[in-house]
Structure 1
Amino acid sequence: MRLAVLVLGLLLSLVTGAASLAPIPPSNRAALIHERLTQANLNRDHVMVVAHRAGWKKDGVIVRAENSFVAIDHAASTGVEMVELDVRRSKDGVLVIMHDETLDRTTTCRGKVKDHTYAELRSCRLVVEGEQTLTDEHVFTLEEAMLHARGRILINIDNKLEPEALVEVADLARSLGMPDGILLKLAVWNAERLQLARDIRRAIGPDIAFMPILADDAVTEPAFIDRTQSALSAPAAELVHWYRDSSKPVTTDGGPLLSPLARAVAIRNNTHLWVNTYPITDRPEGMVAGGRGDYLALSTGRPEDVWGFFVERGVTIIQTDEPEAVIRWLDAQGLRRNYMVGS
């Protein structure tokens, strides 16, 4: 695997020529990220990093308000390619950024997001969970988030609404001149769900990146993965490798979604393989990554058993709660390329 990566990197350097040392202006960085996202087969020597909830943790400790401008800024400054933001709707129909159904955990307000007008939500200050440190930020809209991130970093939309809301998100991005600034996604597990995804993909339009989420409790056949990626013209496939019993050993092979056949399908469709190594509250560590989560990498001092395990199986996008640690490890392995002119 490492030899193949080195060979591919050499070939790419011959094709693209020597990289200039002139850095890309911040306003152009997002366009380059989008290019790497949509050209997987030309960028398999570079592993992209997505900051879960915009990047709220460091070494397992919550240090920033999740889904905050401060988190977005920090992610962009540390080289992260995408921030994951959670989208909900206010009582008066405004798309806002909030992970939970309620405001209780992450703001100074109480109650359900959908029961408050946006004017009311603006009075809700964001807090750093744990110590409940009050911040200067308030609940903000998806539009404000897009404008804040524009040109610097992509937004990975975690839609907490009906699937059709993705069309509204796409229309908003396009109205802001940011069709290449977001990534939309939808869980797909059977033919009926794939048809829904195709309908939404058609309504969204081909200029906005859209990908399936595939979980191995329902999707196990490479033929279905192939059909899904091809039908959606997907630049990536987010893979969920379930691990529900912490008393059992962690995954040894990555499951059916990371099999050699599945990787061949990804190459055939010019698609990135994406895994999530962040934890889920009150669930076994690494629940969506076969038990190989961020905590295991940090607690054992063996990141190769987590992030390295998935890279060896063809993964080129990692969504994590520990973006700084992941980037540091990838850099040490030669698995990152700077966003420079000609790189």
Structure 2
Amino acid sequence: MRLAVLVLGLLLCLVTGAASLAPIPPSNRVSLIHDRLLNANLNRDHVMVVAHRAGWKKDGVIMRAENSFAAIDHAVSIGVEMVELDVRRSKDGVLVIMHDETLDRTTTCHGKVADHTLGELRACQLLVEGQRRSTEEHVFTLEEAMLHARGRIMINIDNKIEPEALVEVADIARSLGMPDGVLLKLAVWDADRLQLARDIRRAIGPDIAFMPILADDAVTEPAFIDRTESSIGAPAAELVHWHRDASQPITADGGPLLSPLARAAAIRNNAHLWINTYPITDRPEGMVAGGRGDYLALKTGRPEDVWGFFVDRGVTIIQTDEPEAVIAWLEQEGLRRSYELTN
């Protein structure tokens, strides 16, 4: 099946345009990643990797503070395309990077993020969770994160506050001259939510990448996937394949979001299919991936039953807590292409 994926990608490249062989300046990496994001049908022989919370783990062990500059730097060094960063708002209205509603788990401070001014948050050092080891980094703003990543790696924004804040995120990216450096997203589950996505799409502008998050507890019809992707011009659809059936340890077919019809909709809309294989806090392993999570790949030594399973169903973006392992496996399978050559 993976051979078929490669063949399809190569055929699409031949049909839609020949590849240029011009060398790429290192400073141009983000524009190349962005180009592959926007041109899924030209790049189905290459699987992109997103580092969840910027890439804080290796082999299940927490190595770095999540959402940290150190994590971003490591992700860049191993060839990751995007880092996922979580956005919240301080008491004085500044967008900051923090996953939890509170500071307790990941910093030396306590209480809600929204109850602290930016000045107060500056005093909160980031922790390596588990070890409770403090780092030299403190809570930083979204703008600072963008500047740190600029030109080197894209940022996938996980917005933890009101949906309309995505417009503010887009404005910050544009003000820094990096509209191609971010990917915004919104959960979509019905017609009303799709209309909200359309409104936000218009408000953020066409130069900022924007995609839906679709979960199979609500979205079960490929026609809705098709309509959502086309109506907001989505370069990708982030898929959540819930694992709720204890009698079935792992998904057998990927569910409706990874069906042949869903894959056809992605091809029609020149969109990537994106799967998350990381664990959710306080939930069973593989909860968002039909039971086929990162841990299963590492524990069994059979990554083809996890990452390979999804690639075989058309997935071309994997968000993971194990970016090093995923990239190594993809390269072994011939499912990565160097950024030293343009598309």
Is 1:133 matched with 2:120? no
1:198-209 to structure 2, matched below 5 A, reads 198-209=198-209
Which residue of the partner structure matches residue 180 of structure 2? 180
SS at match of 2:180: coil
Shift of 1:7: 2.4
Which residue of the partner structure matches residue 327 of structure 1? 327
SS at match of 2:179: coil
Partner Cα distance (2:246, 2:286) in 1: 9
Shift of 1:281: 1.6
Inter-CA distance 190–101: structure 2 relative to 1 (3 Å threshold): same
Shift of 1:110: 0.5
Which residue of the partner structure matches residue 98 of structure 1? 98
SS at match of 1:317: strand
Q: Which runs of 4+ in 1 moved over 6 A?
A: none
- Structure 2 letter corresponding to 1:26: P
Which residue of the partner structure matches residue 194 of structure 1? 194
Contact 1:246 1:285 in 2 (8 A): no
Identify which range, 112-121 or 10-19, moves more after superposition.
10-19
Contact 2:76 2:152 in 1 (8 A): yes
Which residue of the partner structure matches residue 150 of structure 1? 150
1:170-319 to structure 2, matched below 5 A, reads 170-319=170-319
> Kindly, what percent of the aligned residue pairs are identical?
82
Partner Cα distance (1:261, 1:222) in 2: 6
Contact 1:246 1:291 in 2 (8 A): no
Contact 1:65 1:127 in 2 (8 A): yes
TM-score using structure 2 length: 0.97
Which residue of the partner structure matches residue 32 of structure 2? 32
State the Cα deviation string for residues 68-121 of structure 1 (Å, max 9, x = none).
000000001101000000000000000000000000000000100000000000
Partner Cα distance (2:161, 2:281) in 1: 21
Contact 1:246 1:284 in 2 (8 A): no
SS at match of 2:341: coil
Shift of 1:3: 3.1
**Which residue, 12, 16, 19 being the options, matches 2:18?**
16
Partner Cα distance (1:292, 1:246) in 2: 13
State the Cα deviation string for residues 213-251 of structure 1 (Å, max 9, x = none).
000010000111111001100000000000134453210
Which residue of the partner structure matches residue 65 of structure 1? 65
Contact 1:98 1:139 in 2 (8 A): yes
SS at match of 2:66: coil
Gaps of 5+ in 1: none
State the Cα deviation string for residues 271-323 of structure 1 (Å, max 9, x = none).
00000000012211100000000000000000000000000000000000000
- Structure 1 letter corresponding to 2:210: F
Partner Cα distance (2:318, 2:259) in 1: 17
Shift of 1:2: 2.6
Which residue of the partner structure matches residue 85 of structure 2? 85
State the Cα deviation string for residues 28-74 of structure 1 (Å, max 9, x = none).
10000000000000000000000000000000000000000000000
Inter-CA distance 323–293: structure 2 relative to 1 (3 Å threshold): same
- Structure 1 letter corresponding to 2:288: V
Cα RMSD for the two superposed structures = 1.4
Gaps of 5+ in 2: none
Shift of 1:134: 1.1
State the Cα deviation string for residues 169-224 of structure 1 (Å, max 9, x = none).
00111111111100000000000000011001100101000000000010000111
Partner Cα distance (1:187, 1:250) in 2: 24
1:98-117 to structure 2, matched below 5 A, reads 98-117=98-117
